[in-house]
A and B are shown apart, each in its own frame.
Chain A
């Protein structure tokens, strides 16, 4: 996998003050660190530790993930449409990989 695919669903336009529903999923193995490989060697932990979502520069969501979260973590949340701006989704994992995706919300 060259790039971890991300799928995000949210409206591209909303009225000011409207509550918008946002859904996001990231492809990630969420390796717990408790498993061993075929020769009994420990597979190092590599989980997504954090998802931060900012909307027009303001943080609207911060999610601390734990090893108990299944692979390909999915989250659904909502926020209030304030101004036209970018929603930036940033996932960080144990290996230090940072995956960032953004979507524009136009507020009328």
Chain B
């Protein structure tokens, strides 16, 4: 009953809010903008930020050989500080050869299976999170700049459609919260613009680092909609749309979120 009460209150609260100020004439702020001073401090302190523990692990994994040929990430890509700089800012991206949309997690696993000939890492495993966070961290501070034209266009359009599609028992689209009501209070929290530029991020609620898809699954659950799989095409195209929304904003991985 308590849960139903919560859902009702949420639905009523959202209905009562005026539908105004859509993204076009609104400055899009990163999630950090809505954090308390304490949490901003936590995110900016590389020792206190717990997400950095995964970045450190990723740094180790980068050098660790895998597969029959005992190749590590570093065997091909050498120093991540140089070769991976700016990569996260242009992901998700379409692979020229296959026309497939890749996010960082999928790209890392693609490398593992085709080049290292090793087993792929499970989505949301500490290893994959660590490598993803380590790679993304090399772009920290660089502006997000994904390609949405050419081969990426159908994915981008699918993502845009998903963002505006009403979903779940609460019949809410992403846009209704993260465009129409960003910056306003939803119970104890402030609604953000729903960007992915800090992911993988350390959420206090999770007490661990998590991927953007885990966060999207939480949103799907929140509106009582179908939760798509980790790495599913639905979330991948949405990730591309979110990355475009964050254009020009700095990569913050590993961010700290509530």
Give residues in A with beta carbon < 8 Å to B. 1, 5, 7-9, 23-25, 27, 29-30, 70-72, 74, 76
CB of A8 within 8 A of CB of B47, answer yes
- Could you say which of A9, A25, A29 contacts B207, with CB atoms under 8 Å apart? A29
From 97 to 153 in chain B, residues with beta carbon under 8 angstroms from any chain A beta carbon are 126
CB of A74 within 8 A of CB of B56, answer no
Give residues in B with beta carbon < 8 Å to A. 45-48, 50, 52-53, 56-57, 60, 126, 204, 207-208
Query: Measured between C-beta atoms, what is the minimum distance from B146 to chain A in Å?
Result: 31
Q: A1-B126, A29-B207 are in contact. Are A72 and B47 (CB under 8 A)?
A: no
- Could you say which of B48, B57, B204 contacts A23, with CB atoms under 8 Å apart? B48
Query: Measured between C-beta atoms, what is the minimum distance from A64 to chain B in Å?
Result: 20
A99 to B234, CA, bound (A): 42
- Could you say which of B46, B50, B60 contacts A72, with CB atoms under 8 Å apart? B50
CB of B47 within 8 A of CB of A5, answer no
- Could you say which of A7, A27, A30 contacts B47, with CB atoms under 8 Å apart? A7
| A and B contact pairs by CB, cutoff 8 A, 30 listed | A1-B57, A1-B126, A5-B56, A5-B57, A5-B60, A7-B46, A7-B47, A7-B52, A7-B53, A7-B56, A9-B47, A23-B45, A23-B47, A23-B48, A24-B47, A25-B47, A25-B48, A25-B53, A27-B50, A27-B53, A29-B207, A70-B207, A71-B50, A71-B207, A71-B208, A72-B50, A72-B53, A74-B47, A74-B48, A76-B48
Closest-by-CB residue of B relative to A31 is: B207
CB of A5 within 8 A of CB of B53, answer yes
A8 to B50, CA, bound (A): 12
Closest-by-CB residue of A relative to B57 is: A5
A8 to B46, CA, bound (A): 10
| A8 contact set on B, CB distance < 8 A | 47
A29 to B48, CA, bound (A): 16
A70 to B207, CA, bound (A): 7
- Could you say which of B50, B126, B204 contacts A74, with CB atoms under 8 Å apart? B50
Closest-by-CB residue of B relative to A26 is: B53
| B126 contact set on A, CB distance < 8 A | 1
| A23 contact set on B, CB distance < 8 A | 45, 47-48
